[in-house]
């Protein structure tokens, strides 16, 4: 199962985890060095890209996503045996439901089970474990092997069966099997809680039966221990001599029939009593099974039922294998994790102010027209078919026919294929609080105004070119809500111009915004990807920003930084320019965009 992942933005944990989350309909967060689920969000530790068992991470995520999708966390669970049985039963139900909804998850869920068995997270049940642990462990292994269909669990079930049989009375074994088959057909968490109650009620009933049986056995033992011939009060009292003689005669006859000689006393005969004692002792000692391990005595099995019913949180842990896996993933993240990995936040839609959008679009119309014409001319020039001379073909090049005399037979013209743009472009605009500063040339205009004008002019120009798919996102405020969407990939720019005037505020969460843009680009179908970032200064985390930019560039995404009246982006981006106004774009951006729009792979 070990796989060596290529270190690209498309295989990075935040991108893939978010894709899984979107597919399963759950929220995912990168949790640095912890792995857990709170019922709404799955937290995944930031394991490195080259972790050889990423299928285990995805399988863990699929399991937790199944809980988020299908488990009713408000269903009442009583601490102790009821909660542990419910968890074991629910794990089976939600994994089966996940496999039905997403058949592909069967592979990753099975890989998790295989890995956990191989490295020792699963353990075979032992006779010396707490009876509640034996009961819950057996249920879990039975359901994983028989209901979920994980072959690796068959050996654990095989060793758990005799341990269960040595620990509990036969009635528990038989009735538990019936209940487990009902678990397979459970449709809700409430059904699961009810079946856990059924197991507990069954154990209570079997406990009562065992207590009654032991009381009956004790009574039988007591009766066997009583003397067989005790004179009653009348015969030992005022009875006449003839009765006493008859009693002696009967006694003598009974002694004879039992093979006793005259003078032998019943008091010395303990054969009957001894036989009863041996019979009871045999029941208490327990029979030795095929494995050579003695079963618990009847009293010990009764005690096991009592212990199981009274089990506390420290006596049983049905999730110990999965908890062990979480601890392992957390340790890997602590020792080898990539701190720059960011949770990919959901973009919120900007408010739509049609009037302001129209005003902004009219203001940049001249600049937009010039940029569009320049880029359009660039694309058209790249699409003009050049001629290639060949020795065969369907069309003669009359300008080369004279070369036949010289023996050059390359007189056929073959057009060279040119690459269409086919590019997705994501524009990120900085709307941090510092963008409220006035521009150098006009104190009545802010840096945010320049950003708005540059973003909308670029987006409108690109949207007019066939096979170019632009999007515009602004980043500001805080790391918890860093991105605001103006135009998403596939949407019309002109129809969303009212979403561009986003009010500046907060810090500069550039790294979070780039992760978001990279994820959005990963979902586009265009062959080429391009990311343009407009900013006025340093991001909140320069190191995290540099690392995600480097990851994007290594993944084939063309990244361009545009400084608004600053050269600061040059410290972050390998390709950057500086502009004072939107009009500067047509002078500086042309060469930087040429590669993304025209270069043939």
- Read off the CATH number of the domain in which 364 is found: 3.40.50.410
Q: Which residues does residue 388 pair with via DSSP β-bridges, in sequence order?
A: 414
Whether 243 maps to a domain, the answer reads: no
Helix (H/G/I), strand (E/B), else coil: 502: coil
Phi-psi region of 101 (alpha: psi -120 to 50; beta: other; left: phi over 0): alpha
Query: DSSP assignment, residue 596?
Result: H
The CA distances from residue 151 to 35, 58, 109, in Å, are 26, 19, 12
Whether 342 maps to a domain, the answer reads: no
Question: In terms of residues, how long is the chain?
Answer: 601
Residues 543 and 405 in one domain: no
Residues 513 and 496 in one domain: yes
Low-confidence ranges of the chain (pLDDT < 50): 1-5, 233-285, 600-601
Residues 375 and 402 in one domain: no
Residues 112 and 155 in one domain: yes
Residues 400 and 532 in one domain: no
CA distance 280 to 277: 5
Whether 245 maps to a domain, the answer reads: no
Whether 214 maps to a domain, the answer reads: no
Letter string b/e over residues 391-420, b meaning 16 or more CB atoms within 10 A of that residue's CB:
eeeeeebeebeeeeeeeeebbbbbeeeeeb
Of the candidates 543, 550, 593, 541, the residue with the CA atom closest to the CA atom of residue 573? 550
Of the candidates 70, 69, 153, the residue with the CA atom closest to the CA atom of residue 118? 153
Residues 462 and 319 in one domain: no
Residues 102 and 30 in one domain: yes
CA distance 40 to 511: 25
**Alpha-helix runs per DSSP H in 310-431:** 320-336, 354-363, 365-383
Query: Around 209, how many Cα atoms within 13 Å sit in the side-chain half-sphere?
Result: 13
Q: For strand 36-37 and strand 468-475, is the pairing parallel, antiparallel, or unpaired? A: unpaired
Whether 287 maps to a domain, the answer reads: no
pLDDT in tens, 272-319: 444 444 334 344 445 555 555 656 788 889 999 999 999 987 889 888
Helix (H/G/I), strand (E/B), else coil: 296: coil
Q: Rounded to two decimals, what is the model's pTM?
A: 0.76
CA distance 371 to 215: 97
Domain count, the chain: 3
Distance of CA 289 to the CA centre of its chain: 42
Residues 474 and 574 in one domain: yes
Which tokens is 129 given? 């474990």
Predicted local distance difference test score (pLDDT) of residue 206 = 92
Residues 22 and 86 in one domain: yes
Residues 34 and 183 in one domain: yes
Whether 241 maps to a domain, the answer reads: no
Predicted local distance difference test score (pLDDT) of residue 588 = 80
Which tokens is 406 given? 């010289």
Instruction: Give the residue from 278, 304, 336 where a domain finishes.
Output: 336
**Residue at token pair 């998790």:** 112
Whether 402 maps to a domain, the answer reads: yes
CA distance 252 to 228: 15
Whether 254 maps to a domain, the answer reads: no
Instruction: Give the residue from 271, 301, 336 where a domain finishes.
Output: 336
Domain residues for 397? 385-415
Residues 435 and 561 in one domain: yes
Which tokens is 38 given? 């709170």
- Beta carbons of 468 and 425 less than 8 angstroms apart: yes
Residues 51 and 33 in one domain: yes
Predicted local distance difference test score (pLDDT) of residue 145 = 97
- Beta carbons of 532 and 549 less than 8 angstroms apart: no
């Amino acid at each position: 199962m070990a796989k060596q992942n290529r270190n690209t933005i498309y295989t990075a944990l935040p991108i893939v985890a978010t894709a899984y989350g979107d597919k399963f309909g759950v929220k995912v967060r990168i949790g640095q060095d912890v792995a857990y689920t709170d019922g709404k969000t799955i937290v995944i530790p930031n394991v490195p890209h080259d972790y050889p068992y990423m299928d285990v991470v995805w399988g863990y995520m699929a399991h937790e996503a199944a809980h988020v999708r299908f488990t009713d966390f408000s269903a009442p669970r009583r601490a102790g045996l009821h909660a542990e049985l419910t968890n074991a039963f629910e794990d089976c139900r939600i994994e089966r439901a996940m496999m039905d909804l997403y058949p592909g998850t069967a592979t990753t869920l099975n890989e998790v089970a295989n890995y956990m068995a191989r490295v020792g997270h699963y353990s075979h049940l032992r006779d010396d474990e707490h009876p509640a642990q034996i009961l819950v462990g057996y249920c879990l292994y039975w359901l994983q092997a028989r209901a979920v269909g994980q072959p690796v669990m068959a050996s654990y079930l095989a060793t758990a069966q005799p341990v269960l049989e040595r620990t509990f009375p036969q009635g528990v074994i038989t009735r538990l099997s019936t209940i487990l088959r009902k678990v397979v057909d459970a449709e809700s968490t409430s059904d699961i809680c009810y079946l856990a109650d059924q197991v507990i009620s069954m154990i209570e009933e079997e406990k009562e039966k065992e207590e009654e049986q032991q009381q009956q056995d004790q009574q039988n033992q007591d009766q066997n221990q009583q003397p067989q011939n005790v004179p009653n009060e009348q015969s030992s009292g005022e009875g006449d001599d003839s009765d006493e003689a008859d009693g002696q005669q009967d006694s003598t006859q009974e002694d004879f029939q039992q093979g006793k000689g005259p003078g032998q006393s019943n008091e010395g005969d303990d054969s009957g009593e001894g036989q009863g004692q041996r019979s009871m002792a045999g029941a208490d000692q327990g029979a030795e099974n095929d494995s050579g391990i003695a079963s618990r005595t009847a009293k010990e099995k009764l005690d096991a039922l009592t212990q199981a019913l009274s089990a506390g949180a420290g006596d049983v842990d049905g999730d110990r294998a999965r908890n062990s896996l979480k601890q392992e993933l957390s340790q890997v993240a602590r020792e080898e994790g990539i701190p720059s990995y960011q949770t990919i936040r959901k973009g919120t839609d900007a408010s739509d102010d049609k009037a302001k959008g129209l005003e902004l679009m009219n203001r940049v119309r001249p600049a937009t027209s010039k940029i569009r014409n320049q880029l359009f001319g660039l694309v058209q020039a790249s699409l003009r078919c050049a001629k290639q001379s060949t020795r065969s073909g369907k069309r003669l090049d009359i300008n080369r026919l004279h070369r036949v005399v010289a023996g050059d037979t390359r007189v056929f013209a073959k057009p060279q294929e040119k690459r269409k743009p086919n590019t997705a472009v994501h524009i990120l605009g900085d709307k941090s609080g510092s963008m409220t500063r006035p521009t150098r040339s006009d104190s009545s205009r802010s840096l945010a105004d320049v950003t708005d004008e540059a973003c909308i002019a670029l987006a409108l120009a690109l949207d007019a070119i066939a096979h170019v798919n632009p999007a515009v996102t602004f980043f500001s405020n805080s790391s918890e809500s860093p991105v605001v969407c103006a135009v998403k990939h596939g949407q019309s720019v002109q129809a969303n111009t009212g979403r561009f005037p986003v009010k500046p505020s907060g810090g500069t969460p550039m790294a979070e915004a780039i992760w978001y843009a990279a994820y959005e680009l990963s979902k586009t179908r265009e062959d080429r990807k391009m990311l343009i970032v407009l900013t006025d200064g340093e991001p909140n985390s320069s190191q995290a920003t540099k690392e995600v930019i480097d990851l994007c560039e290594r993944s084939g995404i063309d990244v361009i930084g545009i400084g608004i009246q600053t050269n600061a982006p040059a410290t972050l981006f390998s390709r950057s320019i500086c502009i004072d106004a939107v009009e500067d774009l047509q002078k500086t951006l042309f060469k930087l965009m040429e590669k993304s729009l025209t270069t043939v792979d």
